Structure 1
Amino acid sequence: MKRIIFLIMTMAFVAIGCNKNLEQFTVTPSSLEFSGEAGSQTVTVTAGETWVLKINGGGSWLTTSKTYGKSSGQVEVSVTANSPAERTAEIVFSCAGQSVKVAVKQAPGTAEETVEKGEFYPEPTSGIEVDPVCPNADKPCTIIFKPASDNPLYGHAGELYGHFGVVVDGEWKYVPSDWGVADEKVHFKKVADNYWEFKMEPSIREYFGSGETPVTKIALIVRSEDGNTKSHDEDQFCSVIDDKYKAEEFTPDPLVTKKLPEGVKHGINYNTDGSVTFVFYDKDTAGKSHKYCYIVGDWNEWTRKTEGAMYYDGSQGCWWITLDGFDADKEYRFQYRLGNTSGTDTYVSDPYTEIVYDQWNDQYIAGVPAFPEGAKQLVSAFQINKPEYAWKHKDFKVEDKNDLVIYEMLFRDFTTSQDIEGAMAQLDYIENLGVNAIELMPVQEFDGNLSWGYNPNHWFALDKYYGTREEYKDFIDECHARGIAVIIDVVYNHATGSHPWAKMWWDGANNCTAENNPWFNVVAKHEFNVYHDMNHENAMVKEHVKRSLEHLLTEYDVDGFRFDLTKGFTQNNTLGDVGAWGRYDQSRVDILKGYADHIWSVNENAVVIFEHLADYSEEKVLAEHGIKLWRNMNGTYRSAVNGGSGDFSGSYENNLYGGWVSYMESHDEERLCYGAGADASSVTWGICGTLTNWSSDITMAADGAFFSAKNVTFKADDMFKIRKVGEWNDAFNYGASTKGYKLPLNTEYKLTLGSGSQDMAVPAAGTYDVYFSLAAEKVWLMEAGKRPADPSVTPGGGAAEDPLTVAMRRAGASAAFFLTVPGPKMIWQFGEIGYDYSIDYNDRTGEKPVVTDQYMAVPARKALYDTYAALLKFRRENPRFFDSDASFTWTPSGNLKKITCTVDGKSFHVVGNFAKNQTSYTVPSGTWTDYINGGTVSGSITLKEGEFRLLTK
């Protein structure tokens, strides 16, 4: 008892002593005010023991003579000359648990604001400068790129893009765009030759969306659009002043391990009692997880609170938590905050979310709520009572998968509004054309807003830029009302760095998924991968893909899928050997059959199409399983439209009935009519070949009846062609009929046009004059100084026609030898009106002009639309001609092409003239009905260039 009393008395004495010291701790004055000039003032500290100070919000303009003391004393506070803006800060003095603040204010001055470089700044050889040299995180800055003559990007003619990140614990974070992507968020503006600028605004912190993460160092590189050329081999860095946020001191709640509830799945689980269970997988290839996981959202101010600390089930590798108290009719947004060993957090969305909110891109979409403060990057959401959609045509189904005529559509470029609403307004146009399916280019959530969509970051959510979830359903339901199936192009070969799985284990230094990431291959297994290659042998990847496919089938009532780049669904490494990549791969076949079988387990009538383009042996196995394979016929049909003859046999070969989805053009190929309507007489012609190189030309000059190039020196082994200067286009590409043909000297030679043309040679090394007659389609290799006689040109017959009329007629003939061939077919949007802006207009994946109304007002283009509509009407009215038991024979090559098909005692016959002049043709015996033009036909008929007839009896 005495000991207890003694201890109490001792503690009281100590407490009295401490209070005495605290009473003695004072700092005067409590505020300091400076003019705009540089100056100093004194602060007096009275203390009985050690004290320390720190400056909040001052930066380099405010300094103190000391930062601590062991007893009372004075501190000199100094400021630099101020620029024309008031500055404020505070100095916090601390002693024995007590703090005293001194406010500091400096009036505006007249000095130029100068900032010294911080610890990090780009190397001079990189060509990168930052203005100001040590920027403030809460102000904008400008990245300037002025490459020296030895810089790889010196004289760069294309666009330039940045690769930026906030450096946190040595890793790149908050990278706004993937490498090699033409993203406006990182697009440099050209000021002058070899002078580029990028403005990081409204502030560095807001640009990166880094939230409360301290921004003290940013990483930067300048690159070409494709990423193949960059400003510097080593990452460049710049120090940043951050007066607002310091490294957060956070002590996580103790980790609690707890078994997952029975019956829950990865993602968002809605329970019968109104609660919601969130399950988030987190286990790397070594079996390790993050230190902690908190769920943060609209209901808890987006902060890590004890109630949001998730349990961990080590046996399942999952964080989980069940929460209640939600308004069942309200949508709640949320994220997971994963604790890293470095003390930082990774913010990720739920990969199973059905809607994604985007910190950077939602501001450009009308009607989307403001991005929540405290959240970062991409945010997921849930709603207990999701709105029920009232389907009007739920009973729609695809009746005959082998008779599909698919219209490939990109919402962005289909109408000027770039959205679902605009596309719905054009459904009369589609219905009148006569297709029975629409294939939407990827609509699963992708990076940015303006995209082809092959850069996915979530697979359960549809991209909001095109419309709401209800509008997607409206579009599909209305298509079904018109007898049109809706197929979605899905991208599972890869994902961008915005995908939550990619962000969980990320190698910031190399801008790729980390080696311990279980879902991705750090190095792709094949040559043609983009973004980050998925490992489709991973069980969770398979489960995720199957669940997302099932979700699209059941939630959106889609009728099938076109899978992008399915040849990449393999772990067999064929890097460096494209041929090996295409060879039969049983593991790939098994994976792909598994996905198809799951689709059919949900909807047995669903369409499954692969962009596979592998060896026939593998495609045959897949086709026999019920899968349709893309069949690229662009080159030969483009040749036919552009003046060549073309060989269409690939549209129907190997007797694999219904196995191919053939297409004359697709989103990925040059437009069928590009260049076809140009007046070739106005073209600048040139000689291209190894005498210079295949990427440049010797320009030919107009020379009477010729185009000529004089005094051209050839080596003995030089090869060359004649083409439109600077362009490989079948309409303007002339050569020999056989490769390496040696031109006779001083003698005419009849040229071959289009994709079938071959390189020409000279008989011997020397200097020659080259003459080219467009009208005669001939070339003369002349001794220097000699000139050939003007050529005689035999007219093709009939009145002269403008090139566009001829081109559209040739396009119609090509369509006739495409749409009357059995099996599924695909049309790229606006091919039916001869769309002729190049695929590379405004960059390959950039926005293209919408010209529907203008083109439909042009008689030749409207005639092409009517031709497509008539051919598709013929298919609908005569389905038996396209069944597997019909007798189909054809002559798919040469200038005069023919088809004959017979079934049930009925026949149709197609003949088309692909020569450059009119020709006569004797139809098969009997009297035929001209399906398109009306009337009867027998005996001999005359066909103009590009004219065809569809005859029936």
Structure 2
Amino acid sequence: MKKITFTFLLLISTFSFAQTLSWQGGITPEETDSAVLLFDKTGTGLASYSGTIYAHTGLTIDASTPWQNVIGNWGDNGVQPALQLVSGNVYKLDLTPTIKQFYSYAGIGTITSINIVLRSADRSQQTSDLEINVGAFQVSLTSPTVNSTTIISSGGNLSITASNTNGNANYVLKANGTTINTQNNIASYSFTHTNLTSNQNYELEVTLASTTIVKKFSVLIDPVTAFEIMPTDYQDGITYLNDTEAVLVLFAIGKDFVYVAGSFNNWQPNASYAMKRDFTRNNKFWIKLTGLTSGQIETYQYWVVDKTPIANSPSLVKTADPYSTLVLSPFDDPFIPSSTYPNLPAYPIGQDREVSVLQTAQTPYNWQVTNFAKPKKEDLIVYEVLIRDFDADRNFQDLIDKVDYFKNLNINAIELMPVMEFEGNESWGYNTAFHRALDKFYGTEDKFRELVDTFHQNGIAVILDLAFNHAFGRNPMVRMWMNDPDGDGWGEPSIENPYFNETAKHSFSVGNDFDHSNPFTKNFVKSTLKHWIEDFKIDGIRWDLTKGFTQNCSESDFNCTDSFQADRVAVLKEY
């Protein structure tokens, strides 16, 4: 969720001069106090709204980890708190009996601010993301910025400056868990860490009385990428070599270096986890992982660096593998029932955004039908299914259990609306983020294979609905080359993006628009089709929004989009 920081020069309780957010009484409360939060809707997205206002709200801990202990889910009027009208445009939210108890916070960190988005009852109107401080003791990290990663050459230095309010405090700086500097009884801190030759994760602990606030930041050392030609059978994504070795390959044109961080290096990669580059294969990055434990689930991300990014593009992007077949999400996974996905791998603590999963020595699925005879296209009788709405449990098992129902309808094919990893858990699926991964809300890979196998045993073909016109914002191929002017880690394709158009070349745009004239996009689509057909024995594809495959039109030209375009026909024939 985007975070906007508001600086309060003066907190006053007179409504005629109230800020968007303020504390009743004009005094910033401590986390152990009860408090009344005031909201003035003037000039916000709720200015014209007169109904009940609800709060989507959570906490920032230690001034570095926002949106913790969020109350309820977005749009849940039965759980998320409602504000009360005070007078005019001013509303209040009582945080009782204390701020900590209101948010059910029992952690060891200190609440330093409250994050909040105010919305209408029907969710059609809302404010931007708002924030207000908690506690008189606040710490400001001036350089580098909080949660930032600084890219430096080996042997370089990092200067650290910070300050605090409410009196003198004690400062302790740790690098990779080891204390490297201590300064006591000060309100302004400065230190330079010199001659850095390895990646560093820093924690600056600032203690005043019994309260400690922690600021985190890191350094990545430019490893000076080595060039080496990889074997020709190493494919994009994961190539399993044996029970203890796997190869990762990433196409990241224009990037300077890439680290692989994961459970196998405790998410603290050193120079040995810097990927090599193969100049004979479009400068793809690659690395061989050795010493893996046979059958053990591992998680990983790519840390992709551009030392000289174009304006509004990030220097560092931490991303899952675009070729992931299993993705873990901190946003969606907590709400997936264990009955649907038993033993779902845990999301790694301390990481951010999606991570990929690899596992050597996986047991192959035992297919019962290996020679299914597909019905002719002209003989198809198709039942289209949205798994989410088909039955109460909303998963692959529901369809398996109802195979007799489908068989008795005398159909010979089911078409599944998109089951690839999409954003959120409840969707029609067209907001796809990872085209090669199944959405876990519906079940496991082997359960999906069992579904296909079961329907084949009953003479029913399985067709997948694929949304290859576009991808949504969590997609790694969007994020590695994106415009991100506010620095929140999300954005839209930049001019450098090799897969996506900056603006759609058709009038039916949703998500981020794939450029199907580009060989990189074509290769990705072809390999993804191969994945679903060979690994899951899918019988056919329903192509979504193929009018968007053209490069000849514009967002505003419906007549062009709606008319015959030879380039999109040629692309579909190629696929």
TM range (shorter): 0.5 to 0.7
Alignment of 1:893-908 (within 5 A): none
Once the 2 structures are TM-superposed, how far is the Cα of residue 230 of structure 1 from its aligned partner? Answer: 6.1
Q: Please state whether the residue corresponding to 1:554 is helix, strand or coil.
A: helix
- Report the Cα distance in structure 2 between the residues aligned to 1:126 and 1:501, rounded to whole angstroms: 43
Question: Could you say which structure has the greater relative contact order, defined with CA pairs below 8 angstroms and 6 or more residues apart?
Answer: 2
Deviation (angstroms), 1:225: 11
Of residues 493, 498, 501, the one that matches 2:477 is: 501
Among 485, 496, 499, the alignment partner of 2:461 is 485
* Change over 3 Å in CA distance of 1:129–1:188 after alignment to 2: farther
Task: Verify: 1:327 aligned to 2:293, yes or no.
Answer: yes
Q: After TM superposition, list the pairs within 5 Å mapping 1:15-164 onto structure 2.
A: 128-129=20-21, 146-148=40-42, 153-155=47-49
User: What letter is aligned with 2:464?
Assistant: I
In structure 1, the residue corresponding to 2:218 is in which secondary structure? coil
- Aligned partners of 2:561, 2:429: CA distance in 1, in Å? 25
Contact 1:153 1:229 in 2 (8 A): no
RMSD of aligned residue pairs (Cα, Å): 4.7
Structure (1 or 2) with the larger CA radius of gyration = 1
Partner residue, 2:283: 317
Change (3 A) 1:231 1:326: closer
**Could you tell me how far 1:264 is from its partner in structure 2?**
2.3
Q: Write the deviation string for residues 412-453 of structure 1: whole angstroms up to 9, x where unpaired.
A: 111111111222222222222222111111101111212111
Gap change, CA 1:592 and 1:146, over 3 Å in 2: farther
8 Å CA contact 2:322–2:477 kept in 1: the answer is yes
Please tell me the residue identity of whatever aligns with 1:542: K
Contact (CA 8 Å) 2:244, 2:290: kept in 1 or not? yes
> What is the DSSP-based 3-state SS (H/G/I as helix, E as strand, rest coil) of the residue aligned with 1:474?
helix
Report the alpha carbon displacement of residue 143 of structure 1 after superposing the two structures with TM: 9.1
SS of the aligned residue for 1:476 comes to helix
Aligned equivalent of 2:257: 292
Q: Is residue 472 of structure 1 aligned with residue 415 of structure 2? A: no
User: Shift in Å at residue 129 of structure 1?
Assistant: 2.4
Structure 2 partner of 1:534? 514
Q: Give the Cα separation in 2 of the matches to 1:533 and 1:238.
A: 37
Identical counterparts, % of pairs: 30
- The CA distance in 2 between the partners of 1:292 and 1:396, in whole Å, is 46
Residue in structure 2 matched with residue 673 of structure 1 by the alignment: none
SS in 2 for 1:540: helix
Displacement of 1:339: 3.1
Partners of 1:372 and 1:526 in 2: how far apart?
40
Q: Secondary structure of 2:434's partner?
A: coil
Q: Deviations over 1:322-350 (max 9, x none)?
A: 12112332232211112354997421111
Of 523-532 and 503-512, the range deviating more from structure 2: 503-512
**Distance (whole Å) between structure 2 residues aligned to residue 466 and residue 506 of structure 1:** 30
Q: C-alpha displacement at 1:356, in angstroms?
A: 0.8
Cα deviation, residue 307, structure 1: 1.8
What is the DSSP-based 3-state SS (H/G/I as helix, E as strand, rest coil) of the residue aligned with 1:148?
coil
The 3 A distance-change label for structure 1 pair 474 and 184 is farther
- Structure 2 CA distance, aligned partners of 1:158 and 1:528? 35
Question: 2: CA distance between counterparts of 1:526 and 1:439?
Answer: 26
Alignment of 1:558-573 (within 5 A): 558-573=538-553
Asked if 1:579 corresponds to 2:555, the answer is no
Residue type of the alignment partner of 1:459: H
Q: Which residue of 2 aligns with 1:302?
A: 267
Check the 8 A contact 2:503/2:555 in 1, yes or no. no
**Closer, same or farther: CA 429–196 of 1 in aligned 2, 3 Å:** farther
Residue 48 of structure 2 aligns to which amino acid in structure 1? Y
Q: CA deviation at 1:576?
A: 1.7
Change beyond 3 A, Cα 1:423–1:146? farther
Contact 2:229 2:278 in 1 (8 A): yes
Q: State the partner residue of 2:149.
A: none
What is the aligned counterpart of 1:350 among 296, 321, 327? Answer: 321
What code does the residue aligned with 1:266 have? D
* Alignment of 1:380 onto 2:272: no
Q: Work out the CA distance in 2 between the residues paired with 1:410 and 1:571.
A: 30
Whole-angstrom CA distance in 2 between matches of 1:309 and 1:439: 43
Residues 131 and 542 of structure 1, relative CA distance in 2, 3 Å threshold: farther
Equivalent positions of 1:533-612 (< 5 A) are 533-595=513-575
What displacement does 1:387 show?
1.8
The answer on whether the counterparts of 1:127 and 1:147 sit within 8 Å (CA) in structure 2 is: no
| TM-superposed deviation, 1:486 | 0.9
| CA deviation profile, 1:439-493 (whole Å, cap 9, x unmatched) | 1111011112121111111111111111111110111111111111111111111
Which SS does the other structure have where 1:486 is aligned? strand
The alpha-carbon distance between structure 1 residues 448 and 273, as it changes in their structure 2 partners (threshold 3 A), is closer
Give the distance between the partners of 2:385 and 2:94, measured in 1 at CA: 34
Q: Shift of residue 539 of structure 1?
A: 1.1
For 2:319 and 2:529, locate their aligned partners in 1 and report how far apart those are by CA, in whole Å. Answer: 22
Q: Which residue of 2 aligns with 1:262?
A: 232
What displacement does 1:526 show? 2.5
Q: Deviations over 1:341-376 (max 9, x none)?
A: 499742111111211111222222212122112432
Give the structure 2 partner of residue 934 of structure 1.
none
CA distance in 2, matches of 1:516, 1:227: 35
Amino acid corresponding to residue 295 of structure 1 in structure 2: V
SS of alignment partner, residue 269 of structure 1: strand
Which whole-Å deviations, capped at 9, do the CAs of 1:512-563 have from their partners, x for residues lacking one? 2333222222222223222211111121111111111111111111111111
Structure number having the greater helix percentage: 1
C-alpha distance in structure 1 between counterparts of 2:227 and 2:28, whole Å: 46
User: Is contact 1:127–1:231 with CA below 8 Å preserved after alignment?
Assistant: no
| More deviation, 513-522/436-445 | 513-522
Q: Distance in 1 between matches of 2:37 and 2:494?
A: 29
Do the aligned partners of 2:67 and 2:115 also contact (CA within 8 Å) in 1?
no
- Equivalents in 1 of 2:515, 2:100: separation in Å? 39
Residue in structure 1 matched with residue 156 of structure 2 by the alignment: none
> Which of 318, 324, 330 is residue 359 of structure 1 equivalent to?
330
Give how far 1:127 is off: 7.7
Matches within 5 A, 1:805-884: none
Against the structure 1 CA distance between its residues 150 and 320, is the aligned structure 2 distance closer, same or farther, given a 3 Å change threshold? closer
Letter in 2 for 1:268: I
Residue matched to 2:407: 431
* Per-residue deviation, residues 833-864 of structure 1 (Å, max 9, x unmatched): xxxxxxxxxxxxxxxxxxxxxxxxxxxxxxxx
Distance (whole Å) between structure 2 residues aligned to residue 458 and residue 472 of structure 1: 17
TM-score after normalising by structure 1: 0.42
Tell me how far 1:257 sits from its aligned partner: 3.0
Count how many residue pairs are aligned between Structure 1 and Structure 2: 454
For 2:295 and 2:37, the matched residues in 1 are separated by 46
Cα distance in 1 for residues equivalent to 2:315 and 2:481: 13
Question: If each structure's strand is expressed as a fraction of its own residues, which one has the higher value?
Answer: 2
Partner residue of 1:277?
Answer: 247
Equivalence for 2:370: 394
Which amino acid in the other structure matches residue 218 of structure 2? E
Give SS of 2:407's match.
helix
Structure-2 separation of matches of 1:252 and 1:545 = 33
Alpha-carbon offset, residue 497 of structure 1: 1.0
Change in Cα spacing, 1:580 to 1:355, as seen in structure 2 (3 Å) is: same
Q: Classify the secondary structure of the residue corresponding to 1:502.
A: helix
Q: Which runs of 5+ in 2 are unaligned?
A: 1-5, 140-145, 147-212
Q: For 1:151-230, list aligned pairs within 5 A.
A: 153-155=47-49, 190-191=82-83
SS at match of 1:424: helix
| Structure 2: distance between partners of 1:468 and 1:402 | 32
